[in-house]
Amino acid sequence: MYGKHRSLDSNTTRFVDLERAGKTQIAWSWTHTDGGKEVLSMHQVLLYVLRSSKPLVPAEEIANMLQWEELEWQKYAEECKGMIVTNPGMVHCGTLSAADRSDAGLDLSRCFKEREVTEGETGKRREREKKKREKQKRGRETETREREARVRDKRGIKREKKRREKRRKGKSKREKRERSKSEGERSERERQKREGHREIENQERKKEREEQRETEKERGRERTLRSKRKEERERDERERVREKKEKDLERGRHREKQETRRETKRSNSDRGREKSKRKGEKQVEWERDIKQRSKRKEREERERQEREAGD
């Protein structure tokens, strides 16, 4: 399986063998155009060179294989160094046909000569490069040690010069100190006496200041405590007033509800009595109408019977 990835350069494509990616087998493809026509790519040239090569060939060996005659290919050879390319069987890309070579206008037989690279030659070359790197590393370490030694020597010379100068200056100073030693001792005793008195006074003043600061702190704590207690009392009073107002409002709402309920009951009772009264009046009228209709029917029936008897 092969993966194709675009790089930052839009004209450069990287082909990676994902099944064996742990061995960093990578091939690059350089493609450029000449007047809109695609010229032979670097990747195709490498595939052509590697037709009969070993599975893995360092790019440095490829550069040695190729005899670059075109100036344009010199740049690609430099970019190719230090990379590893794969043989055609490991890269999902077609081989170069004769038609492609003729279309590109480039005779590959003039551009390179093929050379078999064996595993033994590759191993020897790598061993030589390893020894060369180790030798260069040892050389750099030796050079660093020598440079540090030179720096240390320069610093030592400077230190010795400063020591001599210091000793020379110190001698004259010592003589001067010895001449004024007696005067200095006497003035030192007087100074210590003055300093002793001053130190005692300073200690006393310091003690007084500390006591004053402690007193101020105690007063501040008491003030803070009193203010906190006052705030708590005021907060409790506000809470008590608020609760009393809420209770009064609740009582007022309760009284209003009771009055509304009584008013509603009274109005409902009045409506019920009125309704019952109207209902009774209708019942009386209805019964009266029924009696009148029955009397009328009886009269009409009697008159009909009398007519029939007269006929």
pLDDT tens, position by position, 97-143: 444 433 333 333 333 333 334 445 566 778 888 888 888 888 888 88
Stretch 182-208: mean pLDDT: 82
Predicted pLDDT at 224: 92
Q: Report whether pLDDT(8) > 50.
A: no
Taking each helix axis from N to C terminus, what angle separates 181-310 and 119-179, rounded to the nearest 10 degrees?
Answer: 120
Spacing of C-alpha 95 from chain mean position? 48
The secondary structure of 6-43 as a DSSP string is: E-SSTTEEEEEEGGGGGG--EEEEE--EETTEEPPPHH
Query: In terms of Cα–Cα distance, which of 89, 109, 119 is closest to 2?
Result: 89
Q: How far apart are CA 67 and CA 72, in angstroms?
A: 13
Predicted pLDDT at 239: 92
Least confident of 38-52, 171-185, 243-257: 38-52
Predicted pLDDT at 122: 65
Stretch 201-221: mean pLDDT: 90
Residue 60 backbone phi and psi in degrees, to 5: -65, -40
Q: Encoding tokens for residue 4? A: 């194709």
Q: How far apart are CA 155 and CA 162, in angstroms?
A: 11
Q: How far apart are CA 210 and CA 198, in angstroms?
A: 18
Chain mean pLDDT for the chain: 67
Q: Encoding tokens for residue 285? A: 């009228």
pLDDT tens, position by position, 258-311: 888 888 888 888 887 888 888 888 888 888 888 888 888 888 888 888 888 876
* pTM of the model as a whole: 0.23
- Measure CA of the first residue to CA of the last residue in the chain; give whole Å: 131
Q: Encoding tokens for residue 219? A: 């007063």
Predicted pLDDT at 51: 45
Q: Encoding tokens for residue 32? A: 């450029």
